[in-house]
Amino acid sequence: MFTELNSILNTNPDSITPGEFILISDRQSDASFLIHHFLSFYLKARCKVCFLGLVQSFNHYHAVSQRLGVSLLQAKEKGQLVFLEGLSESLSVLIPQEDNAGSQAMDFLRDPAAGLKSLYEFVRSSLNSPDGAEDWGPPVLLVDDLSVLLSLGVSVGAVLDFSHYCRATVCSQLKGSMVMLTRCEGEEEEDEGDDEGSERLLKGLTHQCSLTLHVQGLPTGYCREIHGQVEVCWRRRPVAGQYTPKKLFQYKVHDKGASFFAPGTSSAVL
């Protein structure tokens, strides 16, 4: 886990805010290190985790998690982690094999216009049913990354409907949390307005979430000592206390974590 990020977000595995929808996004950068952080964070917090890994294999996530002090294999064996490997599941749908029927979660590949009902049912059944003798904490849904569904022919509206129903089930009904990553292609578009692209998806998800973490490169270009910057934006105001809607932090990713620090003398972005 990244202890500095936990301090920035004022959270720790012993004190999790229920009902959180954390949206991670990146532009011309790589925010996957945050997915690895939240995966290890919630597993160490003994939460029941459903992880939709749409871009990497299980072995990839397992290798990174081991460096962060978590074994995904053990979590799966205990029933704490339900992992959907999107790569292999997609192949089982597109190239069916008699000895490998696969799950129905990726059935939308046969007919993208049908929407993501089967994928939602996979999430709901994974988190809504007890698994094993362990008494796990609040359920958590992680998705890496949601924008992949667009390249598979799913419409932006269907992806937003999927996130909406997941939020209603996981965050509202089950009092759990969601973490989703989505990627934006190229430079930010102000006037182009790609209604069926990643920009529209990002805007729609931003309206649904409670916290956004946007990763981007440094405006000054490449730097060996600093890998990029993260804009942290709280979408909902706390009931009491001081509140800064946005903060900007620079970061550097290490082999077993990341360093976060504010540029200059102030981290607030007004």
Residue 266 lies in a domain: no
How, if at all, do strands 228-234 and 21-27 pair?
unpaired
Integer angstrom CA distances of residue 103 from 17, 27, 191: 32, 32, 41
Domain annotation covers residue 221 = yes
Q: Is 42 part of any domain?
A: yes
Contact 247, 268 (CB under 8 A): yes
What does the radius of gyration of the chain's CA atoms come to, in whole angstroms?
Answer: 18
| pTM passes above 0.75 | yes
Task: Name residue 200's amino acid.
Answer: R
Structural domains counted in the chain: 1
Would 177 be classed as within a structural domain? yes
Range of the structural domain that residue 30 is part of: 3-261
**Residue 34: enclosing H or E segment and its boundaries?**
helix 32-44
Per-residue pLDDT of the chain (270 residues; tens, 9 = 90+): 578 888 888 888 888 888 999 999 998 888 999 999 999 999 999 999 999 999 999 999 999 999 888 999 999 999 999 999 988 888 777 776 655 555 688 888 888 778 899 999 999 999 986 655 578 999 999 999 999 999 888 999 999 999 999 999 999 999 999 999 999 876 665 444 444 588 999 999 999 999 999 998 887 776 777 778 999 998 865 544 555 578 899 888 876 666 666 654 333 332
Query: Domain for residue 151, yes or no?
Result: yes
**60 falls within a domain:** yes
CATH code: domain of residue 198: 3.40.50.300
Asked whether residue 268 is assigned to any structural domain, the reply reads no
Report yes or no on 112 lying in a domain: yes
